[in-house]
Amino acid sequence: MADCSCDRRRKIWVTKDLCENTDEVEKFMNHPAPANSRYKPTCYEHAANCYTHAFLIFPAIVGSALLHRLSEDQWEKITAWIYGVGLCALFIVSTVFHIISWKKSHLRTMEHCFHMCDRMMIYIFIAASYAPWLNLRELGPLASHMRWFIWLMAAGGAFYVFHYHEKYKIVELFFYLAMGFSPALVVTSMNNTEGLQELAWGGVIYCMGVIFFKSDGIIPFAHAIWHLFVATAAAVHYYAIWKYLYRSPGDIILQL
């Protein structure tokens, strides 16, 4: 009888430990989503998703204003505006979507709308990130067509999201990668190769982040980690644009 009692106590302790561990996991990560369905973040993951992009909105605005201030002609100002809007909009739309998803999840229509906008902004951001390189560097007659073709791809991606949102996730990921790599083939063919190393490193960081983009329910805080990769890659690309395509702040100081 004593042995039976001890066995029963062991089972209770083991069950209790398993429950506590399960509760701890569910705080930081839920189970993976079924095929073609959205992952449901935990409260902690929602908070991380919001903060990791919300804190970047102000630096993005300041950085965009700096490029506009450093512009020497109208074309550089327009390009700085295009890039700046794409950069700021990415972080703003992402933050708004994650706040609504976290705090206003009962507003399904609004949440669905901002989720689509969040996905569409990725295509627009890719096009805007290439705009300074395609607009301000001398390109060959064939390569110059990429200046408008990149926006055609962004429009096609937005159309795809609007009609097939969350239905074919692998296809959507392929579109993101294809759009990210296609203009790179043109940019790397430029005679002036300054800044291309930083551009390549930024692309590598984005690709590394894709691992976490597709790891919700497998790695805790996967989406927030993906946000950090996006922030790092965007910072590397911004540095290259600021350093190699626009004047340095020292030139401005000398003129004041």
pLDDT of residue 227: 95
Give 38's Cβ-side CA count (13 Å radius): 14
pLDDT of residue 14: 36
Domain membership flag for residue 55? yes
Mean pLDDT in residue range 88-110: 86
Who has greater pLDDT, 192 or 143?
192
Q: Give the tens place of pLDDT for each residue, 211-222.
A: 998 888 888 899
Domain membership flag for residue 20? no
Residue 94: pLDDT band with limits 50, 70, 90: very high
Q: What is the pTM of this model?
A: 0.81
Domain of 143, CATH number, reads 1.20.1070
98 labeled part of a ligand binding site:
yes
53 labeled part of a ligand binding site:
no
Q: Give the tens place of pLDDT for each residue, 163-184.
A: 887 777 788 888 888 888 888 8
Domain membership flag for residue 179? yes
Domain membership flag for residue 124? yes
Domain membership flag for residue 217? yes
User: Pick from 54, 61, 59, 55: which is nearest to 102 by CA?
Assistant: 54
- Distance between CA atoms of 242 and 246, rounded to whole angstroms? 5
Domain membership flag for residue 206? yes
122 near 90, Cβ under 8 Å?
yes
Domain membership flag for residue 184? yes
- Number of structural domains (the chain) is 1
Is the backbone of residue 246 left (phi > 0), alpha (psi -120 to 50) or beta?
A: beta
Residues 6+ apart with CB under 8 A from 171: 160, 164
Domain span at 149: 40-247
Domain membership flag for residue 29? no
227 labeled part of a ligand binding site:
yes
